[in-house]
Chains A and B, each alone.
Chain A
Amino acid sequence: MDSESKLINLTIDGTEVSVPEGTTILKAAERLGIVIPRYCWHPGLSAPAQCRMCLVEVEGWPKPQPACVQQVQDGMVVNTDCVEARKARRGVIEFLLLNHPLDCPICDAAGQCMLQDYAHETGQLRRRAVEAKVVLGRDHVTPEIVYFADRCILCTRCVRFMDEIAQEPVLQVINRGHKGYIDTMTDELFEHPFSMNIVDVCPVGALVNEDFLFKARSWDLDQTASICPGCSQGCNVALGTKENRVVRLKPRFNPEVNSYWMCDHGRREVVRWGAGMRAEVPLVREAERLVPADWARALDATVEALRGVEGGAKAIVDPGASNESLYIVRRLMDQVGFDGGSFRVSSGPQQVLKGFPKLALREDRAANASGAEALGYGRVDDIYGAVRSHRGVLFVLEEGLDDAPEDFADGSALFVYIGSVLSPAARKADIVLPSPSFAEMDGTFTNFEGRVQRFTQGLRPPGLARPIWMSGSVVLARLGGGEPFTSAAAAFAALAEEFTAFSGLSYEKIGLTGAVSAAAESGATAS
């Protein structure tokens, strides 16, 4: 906040507050914890003051004022919950509900719908209109987004998102009054890499994602703070989970990374998670066969095998693995002689969100390539070439090995596979340590600009899968590397001590919005 700007004193609902000049009544009220009902106002968009839902009474003024655009003035006395304001709101809701189908039972937004909330709060009990409702039907606006015209309240949040943030003004309000609806000017559907944000900004259930349509009720979902693993941007997201499955991703506000937005690519990735044959129990090779073992035996076997081995250690890691996992593998490799680790990153075209250029779908389509680099792994194109002539230990962390050549690990004395998916190539391992997938554990990712961000566990891991910071640190301890870690936070603390890219950071400091380590920050400013 600008310290030079003048402070204005006003009274809202009997409480005095001072805010800088130019603040709107709505923002000033929020400081007092008073939420003025609104539809068209969204914190990330401009305020057209067209829904008229935020009308409040200003004492001495002839008419109620829209709080979302009316700036504060000295000595103003604002009432947000008086008879006049409530009457104005009730009138607005009555108009909005004139042609609303009231199909809450089958609407995806039920339970998170602002129209539902405010109609309950201030609306009338009964409909006074006797005319039949106008029925407009539904249509696609993009191949993945369905528009229910009857539910729409024409707040134009979606229109303004496309205008101001996506800067591709394709949506318009067509017609006026009760015939009004949102559509593109042409008959064609539009496509935009950030189009699904219009579903998020929609305050009612007019714009819904077809992937999620009818899948779950909003109150059935558990929300978990997480990070989108789709690219190196590291958008802050909330996982909506139901019955141990992720059914929805919603952006979580973080002004430094993604504001209120995220790209469609990340949301589409959700359905791919947890696919494939999961590794559920530790496997140990005995007489040429992989046999299931309990953790005690698997860890014994790992310690035993690592003790006698020679020839150093190489690793193939996945840049989607967490910093903690990468760190433990690095430490394991150090125990037998670090001989280089490599990873590959799938890439795609970069797509910047024009209205918020900090956010882009990055070229690196993996969450933690920066973290892997900071921990000493090298980015290569051919991950198998580097290990072909290797004679020592080979660690593979999370890498799917989908295109692995038959003999890529034949030369290595010991092949340890640590991961959540058991591909045919992973079955060639001597020891398989099952680990949870990304949504099933705690951890951190480092995004493209060195920002370390935490994700938290939203799902139960299958079978006996355990995070590698847990199982791997037991092996480390027995090989003489100190105490096993008792939490992901402890693993991160050890990591922060050892690697400068993470120095000074801890889970507490990172919080749920992320932090950049002092070392990384000074390095960034120097370069």
Chain B
Amino acid sequence: MAIGVKKVDRPEVGASYLRATLKGMALTFKHLVRPVTVAQQYPEEKYELAPRMRGTHRMAVHEDGRAKCVACGLCPTICPANCIKLIPAEDENGERYAAVYEIDEFRCIFCGYCQEVCPVEAIHLGVHYEAAEYSRERFVYDLERLCAQDHPFTQLWDPEDPASE
């Protein structure tokens, strides 16, 4: 046999399985009296996530609730997945703001470039992974939703040493 088939010795007909069964039952019994707690009771218990975990986005807001975004257009420019849609406009004070700001979380590859490039530290990735929804449309996060997210911001760098010096 050129391809080297391994021949397995099957137990003969009539051989006893008793010994193997008892061995297995013994292990079961051991776990019954002294359980090993490796299983996590998700969703009651949640993982402790690393501060650098890169999950769904969150927009930082000013104290009055306005998004910090100044609509500079750097995040849609740098986004490798092309998942950010931004339409800038002028507000009543003559300031530039994002009239439309949408992130398609399906397209997003969670690289964190948007957070890194943001000059005003507005858009952030979040330490968050439970993004399930009932419809596909809900995965396009608009500005209102991004501002309403309340999970912690991802830390792409050490806040003690932002320039890695």
A344 close to B (CB within 8 Å)? no
* B28: chain A residues within 8 A (beta carbon): none
Contact of A214 among B71, B74, B77, B119 (CB under 8 A): B71
* B88: chain A residues within 8 A (beta carbon): 214-215
Contact of A217 among B77, B89, B119 (CB under 8 A): B77
Q: Is the CB of A105 within 8 A of B70?
A: yes
B66 close to A (CB within 8 Å)? no
* A104: chain B residues within 8 A (beta carbon): 72, 119
A106 close to B (CB within 8 Å)? yes
* A213: chain B residues within 8 A (beta carbon): 90
* Contacts A214-B96, A217-B77, A219-B77 given; does A106 touch B71 at CB 8 Å: yes
Contact of B120 among A105, A138, A217, A220 (CB under 8 A): A105
Q: Is the CB of B74 within 8 A of A105?
A: yes
Q: Least Cβ distance of A244 to chain B in Å? A: 15
B94 close to A (CB within 8 Å)? yes
Q: Is the CB of A214 within 8 A of B72?
A: no
Cα–Cα, bound, A220→B77 (Å): 8
B80 close to A (CB within 8 Å)? no
Q: Is the CB of A105 within 8 A of B119?
A: yes
Q: Least Cβ distance of A466 to chain B in Å? A: 31
Those of A470-494 within 8 Å (CB) of chain B: none
Cα–Cα, bound, A214→B74 (Å): 13
* Contacts A105-B119, A105-B120 given; does A217 touch B73 at CB 8 Å: yes
* B96: chain A residues within 8 A (beta carbon): 106, 214
Chain B, residues 66-97, CB within 8 Å of chain A (1/0): the string is 00001111100100000000001110001110
Those of A276-307 within 8 Å (CB) of chain B: none
Contact of A220 among B71, B73, B90, B95 (CB under 8 A): B73
Cα–Cα, bound, A229→B1 (Å): 82
**Interface size counted on chain A using CB atoms at 8 A:** 11
Those of A117-158 within 8 Å (CB) of chain B: 138
Contact of A105 among B72, B89, B90, B94 (CB under 8 A): B72
Cα–Cα, bound, A217→B73 (Å): 7
Cα–Cα, bound, A106→B72 (Å): 5
Cα–Cα, bound, A170→B77 (Å): 39
Chain A, residues 215-243, CB within 8 Å of chain B (1/0): the string is 10101100000000000000000000000
Task: Give the nearest-CB partner of A103 in chain B.
Answer: B70
* Contacts A214-B96, A217-B77, A219-B77 given; does A106 touch B90 at CB 8 Å: no
Q: Least Cβ distance of B91 to chain A in Å? A: 10
Task: Give the nearest-CB partner of B86 in chain A.
Answer: A217
* Contacts A105-B120, A106-B96, A219-B77 given; does A214 touch B70 at CB 8 Å: no
* B89: chain A residues within 8 A (beta carbon): 214
Cα–Cα, bound, A106→B74 (Å): 10
Q: Least Cβ distance of B116 to chain A in Å? A: 14
* A214: chain B residues within 8 A (beta carbon): 71, 88-90, 96
Chain A, residues 79-106, CB within 8 Å of chain B (1/0): the string is 0000000000000000000000000111
Q: Least Cβ distance of B75 to chain A in Å? A: 11
Q: Least Cβ distance of B130 to chain A in Å? A: 32
Cα–Cα, bound, A219→B72 (Å): 12
Q: Least Cβ distance of A242 to chain B in Å? A: 11
Cα–Cα, bound, A499→B90 (Å): 52
Cα–Cα, bound, A214→B89 (Å): 6
* B119: chain A residues within 8 A (beta carbon): 104-105
Max chain A C-beta neighbours (<10 A), residue from B70, B73, B95, B120: B73
Task: Give the nearest-CB partner of A210 in chain B.
Answer: B90
Cα–Cα, bound, A219→B74 (Å): 10
Cα–Cα, bound, A104→B72 (Å): 8
Q: Least Cβ distance of B90 to chain A in Å? A: 5
Q: Least Cβ distance of A501 to chain B in Å? A: 46
* A110: chain B residues within 8 A (beta carbon): 72
Cα–Cα, bound, A138→B95 (Å): 11
Cα–Cα, bound, A104→B77 (Å): 15
Task: Give the nearest-CB partner of B74 in chain A.
Answer: A105
Those of A44-66 within 8 Å (CB) of chain B: none
Those of B26-75 within 8 Å (CB) of chain A: 70-74
* Contacts A106-B70, A214-B88 given; does A138 touch B94 at CB 8 Å: yes
Cα–Cα, bound, A220→B84 (Å): 14
* B94: chain A residues within 8 A (beta carbon): 138
Max chain A C-beta neighbours (<10 A), residue from B71, B77, B95, B96: B96
Max chain B C-beta neighbours (<10 A), residue from A106, A219, A220: A106
Cα–Cα, bound, A104→B74 (Å): 11
* B90: chain A residues within 8 A (beta carbon): 213-214
Cα–Cα, bound, A110→B72 (Å): 9
Cα–Cα, bound, A110→B88 (Å): 15
Task: Give the nearest-CB partner of A138 in chain B.
Answer: B94
Cα–Cα, bound, A213→B95 (Å): 11
* B77: chain A residues within 8 A (beta carbon): 217, 219-220
Cα–Cα, bound, A441→B134 (Å): 46
Cα–Cα, bound, A215→B119 (Å): 19
Chain A, residues 443-473, CB within 8 Å of chain B (1/0): the string is 0000000000000000000000000000000
* A138: chain B residues within 8 A (beta carbon): 94
* A105: chain B residues within 8 A (beta carbon): 70, 72, 74, 119-120
Cα–Cα, bound, A447→B156 (Å): 58
Cα–Cα, bound, A106→B96 (Å): 6
* A220: chain B residues within 8 A (beta carbon): 73, 77
Chain A residues with a Cβ under 8 A of chain B: 104-106, 110, 138, 213-215, 217, 219-220
* Interface contacts beyond A105-B72, A105-B74, A220-B73: sample of 8 additional A-B pairs, CB < 8 Å, sorted by A: A104-B72, A105-B70, A105-B119, A106-B70, A106-B96, A138-B94, A214-B71, A214-B89
10 contacts between A and B (CB under 8 A): A104-B119, A105-B74, A105-B119, A106-B70, A106-B72, A213-B90, A214-B96, A217-B77, A220-B73, A220-B77
Smallest CB-CB A-B distances: 5 pairs: A105-B72, A106-B96, A217-B73, A105-B119, A214-B88
